[in-house]
Structure 1
């Protein structure tokens, strides 16, 4: 893994999801962790706005078992790529009701996939990026295409309000690669949890724009994590189709002894205190990575 599977890129998802070991290199003596500080920087999430009518209501029944499932391994060409990658969210997250919720690329047409309520590797609690009377637009896991065949960026889709549970989402993670900072923003107040970290190389860059926390788990067999949790994101590599023999290349936050500069396959390597705080965030928490 170029610079250690800091990209955790599929290695992690592939390893965790399919038992493929991540190639992070030999473990070294842990480095001292940095002290987190609190700074009052503006929150990137927008204040809740009045609900608009938007698209007309669709009360038709659908058999979701006939639709492709949205999950970390899915490649669904009909899913749209997020058209506002640095836009705000509505400060809400949604979870499907029942077995799962149909997903639309365009609410004026027919559903193109479905989001399950439960999946082994999560990704079913999703941030709301637009709210209407009958519809919500959300970010999703999976890809529209592999990097070698099309646009692999963060995907989105529309759900019916009647098919989901919606709850407030008070946190957002804001990353600045150029400033080398990571903040957790709660209700407009930012807590600086990292003043340096590692990110992807030019050949395997960290995806920029908005995504969300897909799943968080400890993977003891990955020695480079030193037993700390791995916080997987919904977005995948812009250059790698897969990693470690699997067809996923997921970005993540995780601990690594080497954690400064552009040295990873796309993942964000952080210190013990930062990964502890990130791993405590709810699934579906938005993450915005700025260049």
Structure 2
């Protein structure tokens, strides 16, 4: 069943849809009410800046460690060239982005002063752009991982590769890219982060400084065929309420994570986004990758600022 495309209030032309409202029609997969809404997701960790090798250790700080090789300067990108680049939004697939296959416990949060070019590992030519405002016409939330000279390594809400093209290893559930740091303006850093446990089928809000659990809730997670991605960190990208998706008046919490098991399980074109949203069933391996929560849990997440890290274990 293909869920209808949700239309969040205040949204421009392209709206994320499906499932669970969670985000985008084909990308967040979850069955809601009698209508399949979905927030899909299964994810298989893919190496950070390489295509293979052992999983790197968790990143715990936003550091500016000296690089072992010279840091490239930021190439000039004129307005026409910037406008011609694909936008790194939830439904996009951009080959030049970097796979991010690790967990992160600390990050900085920014807004953009203007549309910004995004660069891959070589940083010689841009591969995509971040728009100054997102699909709800709100300031785009940018999560920074590491500063290196004139650059900031940031997480993006776009995919690098579709699962159907990735082979048995699966596609990266999260991507990263380099952005010129002078186009970023810092906003208040979140004081908490979200931890989803697929084994315990729970969601916890923990202190960003101490790691102490502040709130803990039961959660429904992905099935064996459509697993919720694990061993990776994304962030709360946006939120909106859309009762037509079966989540009632409870805001859908969209994350930057994507399914690495299926392209568009509901036949849409929203990128298989993973969301955290309300559902009557809040336990078991029951979703297409999204995380199903009670009204109380959704309200707790809704109180967190955009840019809050979401780690799935």
Q: Does TM-score exceed 0.5, indicating one fold? A: yes
Task: Give the Cα separation in 1 of the matches to 2:64 and 2:152.
Answer: 13
Partner of 1:156: 176
Please give the TM-score of this superposition, normalised by the length of structure 1. Answer: 0.80
Q: CA deviation at 1:162?
A: 0.9
Find the partner of 2:102 among 68, 85, 88.
Answer: 85
Which stretch of structure 1 is more off in the superposition, 68-77 or 165-174? Answer: 165-174
- Unmatched 5+ stretches in structure 2: 3-15, 36-57
Q: Does the aligned pair in 1 maintain the 2:143–2:307 contact within 8 Å? A: yes
Shift of 1:175: 1.6
Q: CA deviation at 1:22?
A: 7.4
- Give 1:201's aligned residue: 223
Give the corresponding residue for 1:261.
Answer: 284
| C-alpha distance in structure 2 between counterparts of 1:260 and 1:230, whole Å | 18
Correspondence for 1:35: none
Gaps of 5+ in 1: 3-7, 28-43
Contact 1:135 1:161 in 2 (8 A): yes
The 3 A distance-change label for structure 1 pair 88 and 195 is: closer
State the partner residue of 2:206.
185
Work out which of the residue numbers 17, 24, 42 in structure 2 matches 1:14: 24
Report Cα offsets for 1:192-232 as digits up to 9, x if no partner: 43342110001111112111111111112133x23211101
Render the CA deviation track for 1:81-128: whole Å, top value 9, x for unaligned.
Answer: 11x422443x31122212x11100025411111111112246931211
Cα pair distance change 1:60/1:106, threshold 3 Å: same
1:122-137 equivalences under 5 Å are 124-137=140-153
Residue aligning to 1:24: 32
CA change 1:130–1:10 in 2 (3 A) is: farther
Q: 2:93 aligns with which of 63, 75, 92?
A: 75
Structure-2 separation of matches of 1:118 and 1:288: 25
Q: 1:68 to 1:222 in 2, by over 3 A?
A: closer
Asked whether the 8 Å contact 1:16–1:219 carries over to 2, the reply is: no
Contact kept in structure 2, 1:52 and 1:131, CA below 8 Å: no
Query: In the TM superposition, what whole-angstrom CA distance separates every residue of 1:5-28 from its partner, at most 9, and x where no partner exists?
Result: xxx9843333599xxx9752349x
Contact 2:195 2:203 in 1 (8 A): yes
Aligned to 2:154: 138
Alpha-carbon displacement from aligned partner over 1:141-198 (angstroms, at most 9, x marks no partner)? 1111211112242111001111111234232111222233322223325344334211
Aligned residues: 263
